[in-house]
């Protein structure tokens, strides 16, 4: 069984899960039954995507109970509240997605707050899981943790090889520390705590706020507004940065596979291939085409571009899961735009 929310589901992806089969009882030192999987950050972009895959696409298995938490259930920066919510649900497995997140410009203004809040959240979740003898935790990192000065493509061995980009160093270093903690829990206690590193995720239930949202979703909102108002579309930056965009439903299916099958403590990059990298300018033009925006597009080069590129290799993922099918970008973008328009009144914007 899975606990459902009342929000409308995102559209179905045409891609079918490609993960190998495994027993319903996932690996854990816990002997409790049934398997109870607690998802922190359950109301966010990835949490909603996992909920959709589990409840609408047959992703749950017999004997599994899925519990999706939001910030309304507990403030995970508070250790007492974290322990209380874990005691309430007694999970056997955890997918840890909760984080203080924001867009580029908010990060630049509040690096210290991003560091402090995320360090608290991550330590509270991981150590509470350890104290409750939960042997399996999958946490979510971000491609922004990669070194700013590096060679490309970046792979999983290069995470700590230099400072991250200065624009969001607080968030990036806090996320890197999850990898350090995972290794500590593995070496000291034998815990199977690991992490995934998605590239630029987008999809239904994202934060579409024009200033603080993720780049693609903020651009969808900006483009829609410009179309409605009959005004030019103002894009911050030059449009030159390159990004690997990946659909949230694809990431959801991959995170579930990692929880069940992936045995390493070392993180794994979840991304489309290097050849699927596109520029912000190309993304803007595709959004304009999808939303039928015919107006002028203006690039404000007085605004920062952030990292120009952070190309990641998905060779490790492909070696373990060679047949996984990613949703084509145009289809995923259309489904996301459709969701935004159909749920405009409830979308985070």
Q: Which residues are catalytic?
A: 171
Peptide bond between residue 153 and the one before it cis (omega within 30 degrees of 0): yes
Q: 222 with 287: CB under 8 angstroms?
A: no
Q: How far is 235 from 223, CA to CA, in rounded Å?
A: 9
Reading the block at residue 14, the tokens are 């045409």
Instruction: Name residue 269's beta-bridge partners.
Output: 197
Give the torsion through C-alpha atoms of 152, 219, 347, 311, to 10 deg: 0
Q: 185 with 301: CB under 8 angstroms?
A: no
φ, ψ for residue 35, nearest 5 deg: -70, 125
H-state helical runs in the chain: 45-56, 79-89, 104-109, 111-131, 169-189, 215-229, 248-261, 280-290, 315-320, 329-342
């Amino acid at each position: 069984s899975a606990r459902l929310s009342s929000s409308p589901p995102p559209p179905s992806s045409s891609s079918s899960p490609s993960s190998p089969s495994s027993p319903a009882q996932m690996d854990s030192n816990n002997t409790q039954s049934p398997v109870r999987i607690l998802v922190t950050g359950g109301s966010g972009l990835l949490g909603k995507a996992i909920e959709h895959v589990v409840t609408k696409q047959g992703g749950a298995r017999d004997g599994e109970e899925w519990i999706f938490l939001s910030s309304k259930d507990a403030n995970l920066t508070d250790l007492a509240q974290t322990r209380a919510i874990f005691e309430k649900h007694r999970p056997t497995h955890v997918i840890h997605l909760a984080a203080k997140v924001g867009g580029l410009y908010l990060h630049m203004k509040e690096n210290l707050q991003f560091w402090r809040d995320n360090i608290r959240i991550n330590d509270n979740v991981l150590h509470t899981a350890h104290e409750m003898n939960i042997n399996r935790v999958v946490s979510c990192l971000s491609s922004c943790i990669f070194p700013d000065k590096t060679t490309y493509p970046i792979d999983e061995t290069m995470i700590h090889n230099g400072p991250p980009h200065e624009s969001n160093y607080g968030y990036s270093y806090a996320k890197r520390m999850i990898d350090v903690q995972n290794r500590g829990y593995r070496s000291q206690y034998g815990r199977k705590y690991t992490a995934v590193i998605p590239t630029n995720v987008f999809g239904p239930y994202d934060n579409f706020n024009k200033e603080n949202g993720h780049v693609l979703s903020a651009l969808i909102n900006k483009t829609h507004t410009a179309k409605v108002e009959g005004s030019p579309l103002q894009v911050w930056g030059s449009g030159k940065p390159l990004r690997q965009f990946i659909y949230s439903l694809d990431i959801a299916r991959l995170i579930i596979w990692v929880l069940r099958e992936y045995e390493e403590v070392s993180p794994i990059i979840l991304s489309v291939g290097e050849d699927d990298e596109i520029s912000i300018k190309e993304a803007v033009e595709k959004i304009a085409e999808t939303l039928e925006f015919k107006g002028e597009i203006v690039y404000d080069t007085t605004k920062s571009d952030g990292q120009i590129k952070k190309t990641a290799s998905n060779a490790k993922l492909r070696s373990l899961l060679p047949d996984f099918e990613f949703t084509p970008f145009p289809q995923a973008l259309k489904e996301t735009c459709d969701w935004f328009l159909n749920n405009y009144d409830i979308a985070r914007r």
